[in-house]
Amino acid sequence: MSAPKIRLPAEWEPQDAIQLTWPHKDTDWQHLLPEVIPIYTRLVQLLTTRGHVIIGAPANEIEPIQQRFAALGVPEEKLHLYPVVSDDTWARDHGPITVAEGDTLCLLDYQFNGWGEKYAFQQDNRITGELFRQGAFPGATLQPKTLVLEGGSIESDGEGTLLTTAACLLNPNRNPTLSREEIEQQLCTDLGIRKINWLYHGAMEGDDTDCHIDTLARLCPNNVIVYQACDDESDSHYAELQQMAEELEALTCPHGQPYQLVPMPWPSAKYDEDGHRLPATYANFLIFNGMVIVPTYRDTNDEAALEQMALVFPGYDIQGLDCLPIIHQHGSLHCITMQLPKGVVTPAAQQKQQG
């Protein structure tokens, strides 16, 4: 009998939970906490209507967080809080990447180096192992990896196709001793990938991840790619995003057919207090068990973005979440979350008992 194939599930497949790392005063969020905590709070309220939420937070924050959500009526059994020490809160990039091998789920704990050692990262890099040791993932095994890889840099369709950007994965600040072929081989081996679609254009000003794919283009059901478009010829993003759109048109799905491309509207320019451009992108949405949460930016195009997403995900609950304060730290909604597929938090035997 042949061994079960390794598979990296798509985000629209059933999930147990979303993992978050809570913002606190010892992170760069310190001056933004009064604006950011309400966003995290609303996010948890939305997520717990569809599944569980795992939160890593400083030990002294655990009880106040519990009290906060109890007062809001969030079911206690849906929240799983664990004391962890963190440098920052970008769970997409320091969280585990979960693969399935038959009925077995495995958390791949890749190395996180602060997007090329731009920021402190040592404590964040230990979070997955620490949560595992505390029992946060009872339905999965853990496999440490030596490759530097962030969850925001890859997109999976669940069928063995990966969408990514050369600017990030091939950047020498990640895996300087590895060639493109060696990186591809490791992704194919680890994630069960049979086809990698590379993008060589597309960038967001203010994005310090070296072009994470989840800020630019996202794989969706039925061979659809949602991407961030720019229709303003005077905008500094216009040429790069136009070239990216042309690259997307040339890509094919696992069955050899071109993708159906769905452009997202272009939000107006957003700046921080020092006049630096912020990476406002509608492509950084989150899918969770029949719900799609779309980042909004207090922009005239927010409603159009929600309407476009409803066309891509018919029958899903489409929710907007104000992420203007979040992009002041150069990421958005998808970047602060990591999905955990069905079975990771609530193992099959437990699901059967509950059923």
pLDDT digits (tens, 9 = 90+) for 9-22: 999 999 999 999 99
- Residue 291 pLDDT > 70: yes
Q: What share of the chain is helix, strand, coil (3-state, %, to 5)?
A: 30, 25, 40
Sign of CA dihedral 165, 89, 305, 280: negative
Q: Bridge-partner residues for 196, per DSSP?
A: 162
Residues 303/343, Cβ–Cβ less than 8 Å: no
Residues 23/326, Cβ–Cβ less than 8 Å: no
Measured between alpha carbons, how far is 129 from 83 in angstroms, rounded to an integer?
13
- What's 6-349's CATH class? alpha beta
Measured between alpha carbons, how far is 257 from 244 in angstroms, rounded to an integer?
18
Residues 6/192, Cβ–Cβ less than 8 Å: yes
354 vs 49, 205, 307, CA distance in Å?
Answer: 17, 47, 36
Over range 199-204, report the average pLDDT: 96
Mean pLDDT of the chain: 96
Q: How many CA atoms lie within 13 A of 241 on its CB side?
A: 25
Q: Where are the domains of the chain?
A: 6-349
Q: DSSP H helical segments within 79-232, as ranges?
A: 91-94, 114-117, 122-125, 127-133, 166-169, 180-191
CA proximity to 33, closest of 58, 2, 70: 58
Whole-structure pTM value: 0.96
pLDDT of residue 255: 85
Helix (H) or strand (E) holding 82: strand 79-83
pLDDT of residue 350: 56
Measured between alpha carbons, how far is 178 from 174 in angstroms, rounded to an integer?
9
- Residue 348 pLDDT > 70: no
For residue range 67-91, list pLDDT tens digits in order: 999 999 999 999 999 999 999 999 9
Whole-angstrom distance between the N-terminal and C-terminal Cα of the chain? Answer: 32
The tokens 């799983």 sit on which residue? 80
